[in-house]
Amino acid sequence: MNRRTLLTTGLAAGAGITAAPFIMRKGIAQAGTPVTLTPWVDPLPTPPVLNPANIISGASFDPRVTAFGAPNYHELVEAEGFHQFHRDLPATKMWLYNGTFPGPTFINRLGIPTVIRRINNLNPAHVGFGMPETSMHHHGGHQSPMDDGWPLDFITPGTYRDHLIPNIVPDNDTNEWPSTLWYHDHTIDYTASNVYRGLAGMSLHFDALDSGNENDLNPAALRLPSGAYDVPLVFRDVALNADGSLLFNQLDTRGQVGNLKTVNGKVKPYLTVQRRKYRFRLLAGSMAREWMFRIWKGTTRLPFKIIASDGGLLPAPVQVTQHQMGNAERYEIIVDFSTFPAGTQITLNDHLIQSDGNKPAGVSPTGDPVLLFVVEGAAAAPDPSRVPAVLRPLSPVDMTRVVATRSLVLSQAGGIWTINGLPWNPNVPLFQPKLGSAEIWNVSVKGGGWDHPLHIHQEFFRILKRGGATPQAWERGRKDVVLLSNTTACQLYVQFRTFTGPYVFHCHNLGHEDMAMMGWYNVIP
């Protein structure tokens, strides 16, 4: 009996920005005294880059892989391991990709396919929340249905599966090239618990324009901050029992919100920065939590530039002083530390107040500091990087391709989450678009008690309208997640290119997704 069946049958009914200790309150179901933790004692870790592996002599591959010649081959092993969220906390048993949390980072380049051999070494006799039969979704990738992470396409412990990431662009349009994607488990009914156990990592993408080299001599290269100055930041929250084990309420249909906020797997870490520009890639990788980021030097709020969203670089940088993100969204920002003297402390704060997975309760004026930047260097550091006024152009929306307009209403009925009043049904697609066509999707939320970050697989979409108006500049690029509330219905332009077959779309509040807020479309020739 899975979690959804159990529920539907009725069987289940931080503070301070200084170095002073803060209190880790107990999780929803925990008992005992609070634990005192000291902030800014753990350096911010950077997930390791997963380099290509040697192909074992005699290894066989699916014909779709061999058709691409000799792609970059990587091995990704799922296994139990331990991770320590804070120096003063016990190690936590998790499910890890290649022994790390977050998992290792993939580096992809346009036109060079990547093959991921995912090996499931989890315990088949696992007891507790989660399911050791696993799937994997390369989130934001343009790949065939076989490689996309269909929720029922899971593998059992002791087996492996090859995923082909072709690293191509639809319509041969290089304006469609992304920059920051991620990958995570996508097993039916257990996506939340399996991702919460640790099965997630980053996937970065480069091409001649965004080459990942700030010293690139190619005149076409943007020369954005690179190397040690290009830093992924994975934000997620957890709740821990007194022994360090993960606390997870499998029956919470709202989506779990933890009491510890982490960055790259650490609670309140610090990062020593040089006096120069940095590129930070932000991933909201929680189960349900939304985030609102502001950057502070003391009581002064600092500006920063947004340069990319889910689907890659924006046409131009957008300067802001705060930014809100829904679960699974990615945004990239530029922060310039060159004007600050050595020893300056700057914090990245989360300002949303949220204890209910369905939606935040409000905005805190002071916020909760989650990451400390400590500036070092007597003088400004060498900085050949640039942030040009023009980044990656947006190809125009081609309305001549539009052949249908659809309405999608996200709501709740009978204790489960639904799309157009229907729960997930793996046997019946909600619709069948034609290859090469485009559609307008009017997506909205019924009911004011929840938000829904809607994610569409396989294609980036464009937000034409939010609440009837033109969206803000940072939402005008290519997206694969749109954060919806009952007051912000959105109109999306969605295309269906390159591949035929089934793809899902769903709420990326993983508690909502696992409780049936998912549908699928079948692209036909």
Single out the residue in 184, 206, 228 at which a domain terminates.
Answer: 206
What pLDDT, on the 0 to 100 scale, is given for residue 6?
A: 42
Q: Does 2 or 478 have the greater pLDDT score?
A: 478
Residue 465 lies in a domain: yes
Single out the residue in 206, 237, 259 at which a domain terminates.
Answer: 206
What pLDDT, on the 0 to 100 scale, is given for residue 20?
A: 54
Tell me: the pLDDT tens digits for 395-451? Answer: 999 999 999 999 999 999 988 999 999 999 999 999 999 999 999 999 999 998 999
Tell me: the pLDDT tens digits for 272-309? Answer: 999 999 999 999 999 999 999 999 999 999 999 999 99
Q: What residue has token string 């997206």? A: 479
What pLDDT, on the 0 to 100 scale, is given for residue 35?
A: 65
Residue type, 245: S
Residue 103 lies in a domain: yes
CATH number of the domain encompassing residue 419: 2.60.40.420
What pLDDT, on the 0 to 100 scale, is given for residue 55?
A: 74
Nearest to 311 by CA among 493, 162, 147, 503: 493
Strand order in the sheet with 501-507: 481-484, 452-456, 501-507, 518-523
Three state DSSP letters for 427-457 = CCCCECCECCCEEEEEEEECCCCCCEEEEEC
CB atoms within 10 A of CB 387: 17
Residue 22 lies in a domain: no
Domain hosting 143: range is 42-206
Residue 24 lies in a domain: no
What pLDDT, on the 0 to 100 scale, is given for residue 328?
A: 98
pLDDT at residue 242 tops 70: yes
Tell me the whole-structure pTM to 2 decimals: 0.94
Tell me: the pLDDT tens digits for 104-149? Answer: 999 999 999 999 999 999 999 999 999 999 999 999 999 999 999 9
Alpha carbon dihedral 335, 339, 344, 349, in 10-degree steps, equals -30
**Which range (242-256, 332-346, 357-371, 461-475) has the least confidence?**
242-256
Tell me: the pLDDT tens digits for 179-199? Answer: 999 999 999 999 999 999 999
What pLDDT, on the 0 to 100 scale, is given for residue 293?
A: 98
What pLDDT, on the 0 to 100 scale, is given for residue 61?
A: 79
Tell me: the pLDDT tens digits for 41-53? Answer: 999 999 999 998 8
Q: Which two tokens mark 422?
A: 């229907």
Residue 282 lies in a domain: no
Single out the residue in 187, 206, 225 at which a domain terminates.
Answer: 206
Residue 68 lies in a domain: yes
pLDDT at residue 332 tops 60: yes
Task: Tell me the average pLDDT of the chain.
Answer: 92
pLDDT at residue 238 tops 90: yes
Three state DSSP letters for 151-193 = CCCCECCCCEEEEEECCCCHHHCHHHCCCEEEEECCCCCCHHH
What pLDDT, on the 0 to 100 scale, is given for residue 58?
A: 63
Q: How far apart are CA 331 and CA 227, in angstroms?
A: 18
pLDDT at residue 468 tops 60: yes
For the chain, count helices (H), then strands (E). 5, 32
Alpha carbon dihedral 169, 170, 172, 175, in 10-degree steps, equals -60
DSSP state of 8: H
What pLDDT, on the 0 to 100 scale, is given for residue 23?
A: 54
Above pLDDT 70, what percent of the chain? 92
Count of structural domains, the chain = 2
Residue 17 banded pLDDT, cuts 50, 70, 90: very low
Q: How many residues does the chain have?
A: 525
Residue 344 lies in a domain: no
What is the separation of C-alpha 353 from the centre of its chain, rounded to a whole number of angstroms? Answer: 20
Is the C-alpha dihedral spanning 283, 287, 293, 296 positive or negative? Answer: negative
What pLDDT, on the 0 to 100 scale, is given for residue 414?
A: 85
Buried b (16+ CB within 10 A) or exposed e, 118-138: bbbebeeeeeebbbbbbbbbb
Residue 440 lies in a domain: yes
pLDDT at residue 28 tops 70: no
pLDDT at residue 98 tops 80: yes
Determine the average pLDDT of the residues in 205-223. Answer: 98
The helix or strand, by DSSP H or E, that contains position 97, with its residue range, turns out to be: strand 92-97
Above pLDDT 90, what percent of the chain? 86
